[in-house]
Structure 1
Amino acid sequence: HYVNLQMSWTDAQNYCREKYTDLATIESMEDISRLNRPPLDTTMVWIGLRDYLKSCEGKLKTDTNSWRFSATGQPSKTGFANWAPGYPFSVPCTEVCVTMGPDGRWTDADCAIAARSICCNTAENKKTYVFQPVWRSWPDAQAYCRTHYTDLATIESSEEQTNAYLAKPAGTWAWIGLYHRPWVWSDNSNSSFTNWFNGEPNNRFRNESCVSEDLQHKWFDNDCTMKSAFICHE
């Protein structure tokens, strides 16, 4: 449903949720082919994609659904968390990967820093944790664990927390598999499908956290306060 009203992304989201289901989630070229665009007052229209990495201030503490495990791409099925007091902190939203500290508590950290890591093997719903003493960035640690084990450590219960904690030497920090998702749809789903215009997203003005499509259905990141028509789905 194309809506020919000029609104910010947030207002468009609220409108779609009130009148339909939500801003449009697009997960395939088939979805795009179903968009029969009528004449509108603008060449750009909002869709439901937003970059939580660029707009996460104030949300990291409250939006538990935004913290996901590397192995599943999903939040903890049990809701378990073991954050250190005052965490996650992440200002200005650069600390979006998670370490386990010497006391077993979790803290968010810059993914590019070098740290040791904990991998896990999963078999018959039981996890075995293996400490890796080599210092790596979080993405490199993830790649290593996926090559040699199952993935970076997923921790979803007090028992798993204890087992992961005991796998590492005392007094050490180590990456675990928890991270803050970047691009996500308005309904909190994520998808590997994208249809970016060449060179996008580029965050050109350092405040472009919401996504619009052009006449050819190509995607651009834009300032969320920009007023535009938009697409809802039901």
Structure 2
Amino acid sequence: MEKVLLFFTAASALTAVSSLPARSFYFVYEPKNWTEAQSYCREKYTDLATIESMEDVDILDNMKDLSQMVYPSDSYRAWFGLYDDVSSWRWSMSDSDFYQHDEKEFRNWRPGQPDNYQGNESCSAMYSDGSWTDVGCSYSTRSVCFDVKGPNSTFVLVNTYMNWTEAQSYCREHHTDLASVRNEAENQKVKELIPSTGINWIGLYRDTWKWSDGSSSSFRYWRGLEPNDNMEHCAAIYFQDSGRWEDWNCDKKNAFICQNGFSQKVVKLKLINTSSVDLNDPQVLENLLKQLKQKLKDQGVDGDIRLSWKKQSDGNIFMKNTEDIGSDRDVP
């Protein structure tokens, strides 16, 4: 049988995950740091808790036992599964055919950078000396786009002042993307292009808060002025403020909340069929599920993985997309 070439976007994994047992939460009052708590939850349960809604917040608020959560400095706080992945810098253009493995790791940070000042710097820019810094993404400045043809790229300075997201959109509309700088030679090309003052956006950005179990939930319930960083990269619930969240030093000892089981998740899958294979053929669908299951295992997903397809209103699984799938980019 002919093969189907799969292209995954950042959010793409499968069309449907079959229904599994609902999640249950478990408080553990033995104080541990965040990493110790994560290891404990993964050994005894499934993982540190993912909080997906105000309903979850209310459940945890009703479950807590404050009499068991009084410690010398960290009273009434409990770890859960949210953490700040400070190392997760990635390029706006993430086409694996364009990069070599060593090129993805090239960085030219200015000494002391990135520092995520005040917990609000998730985009990168280049100084006139070619060094990089992390900057708040809402800052307005010039940017560097690039045009890609095969393995080659041409850099273009854009003098219009925009924030990082606006610059990304502009570059994708008028060029290929915000500039990826893959090695020292390309860094020198951009350095020679930019003005002698100010900073200039490039395409590197940072994924910020993530869930320990890999969930994509965007629900947040921070206290006022949180997260405020100060080298605090793990999230804790503060039960004396209606269960709102704080970023906290991961080495602190707190109670923590584990979870067991998973909720049902439905996610869209995009793929490119480079052959004459009928994607709605039952045998093809079965083979694709096997490939997807193996893909998840290769990415470190453990446990009982159950996958199934969700049908469209016409009875088919896939429908033809006339848009240019190759133009779909990862965005922060």
TM-score of the aligned structures, taking structure 2 as reference length? 0.48
- Alpha-carbon displacement from aligned partner over 1:3-60 (angstroms, at most 9, x marks no partner): 74526782431224556886589xxxxxxxxxxxxxxx949x9874x252xxx7xxx4
Q: Identify the residue that residue 228 of structure 1 maps to in structure 2.
A: 257
Note the aligned Cα RMSD (angstroms).
Answer: 3.9
Is residue 142 of structure 2 the alignment partner of residue 120 of structure 1? no
Structure 1 letter corresponding to 2:39: N
Structure 2 letter corresponding to 1:13: Q
Task: Report the CA distance between 1:177 and its aligned residue.
Answer: 0.9
Aligned mates of 2:210, 2:165 — CA distance in 1: 19
Q: Identify the residue that residue 31 of structure 1 maps to in structure 2.
A: none
Whether the 8 Å contact between 1:117 and 1:175 is mirrored in structure 2 is yes
In the alignment, which of 156, 163, 169 is matched to residue 130 of structure 1?
156
Give the greater-gyration-radius structure (CA). Answer: 2
- Structure 2: tracts of 5 or more residues without a match: 1-22, 51-61, 65-77, 228-233, 238-242, 249-253, 262-301, 304-332
- Alpha-carbon displacement from aligned partner over 1:157-213 (angstroms, at most 9, x marks no partner): 1122122223323445210111221232337x6x7x43x5xxx4231355576499x
Task: Report the CA distance between 1:83 and its aligned residue.
Answer: 0.7
Is residue 94 of structure 2 the alignment partner of residue 69 of structure 1? no
Structure 1 runs, 4 residues or longer, greater than 6 Å off = 73-76
Aligned mates of 1:231, 1:125 — CA distance in 2: 46
Whether the 8 Å contact between 1:155 and 1:161 is mirrored in structure 2 is yes
- Counterparts in 2 of 1:140 and 1:17: CA distance versus 1, 3 Å: same
Is residue 37 of structure 2 the alignment partner of residue 12 of structure 1? yes
Aligned mates of 2:126, 2:180 — CA distance in 1: 12
Aligned mates of 1:20, 1:76 — CA distance in 2: 38
Aligned mates of 2:45, 2:258 — CA distance in 1: 15
- Alpha-carbon displacement from aligned partner over 1:52-101 (angstroms, at most 9, x marks no partner): 2xxx7xxx4xx3xx212122299994211101112112222222211100
Aligned mates of 1:84, 1:76 — CA distance in 2: 24
Aligned mates of 2:224, 2:163 — CA distance in 1: 28
Structure 1 letter corresponding to 2:128: P
Q: Identify the residue that residue 83 of structure 1 maps to in structure 2.
A: 109
**Count of equivalent residues:** 194
Is residue 149 of structure 2 the alignment partner of residue 149 of structure 1? no
Equivalent position SS for 1:227: strand
Whether the 8 Å contact between 1:102 and 1:170 is mirrored in structure 2 is yes
Aligned mates of 1:145, 1:129 — CA distance in 2: 11
Equivalent position SS for 1:179: strand
In the alignment, which of 141, 162, 180 is matched to residue 206 of structure 2?
180
Aligned mates of 1:4, 1:101 — CA distance in 2: 49
More helix by share: 2
- Counterparts in 2 of 1:142 and 1:9: CA distance versus 1, 3 Å: farther
Structure 2 letter corresponding to 1:93: G
- Counterparts in 2 of 1:123 and 1:47: CA distance versus 1, 3 Å: farther
The percent identity for this pair of structures is 33
TM-score of the aligned structures, taking structure 1 as reference length? 0.64
- Counterparts in 2 of 1:4 and 1:113: CA distance versus 1, 3 Å: closer
Structure 2 letter corresponding to 1:177: G
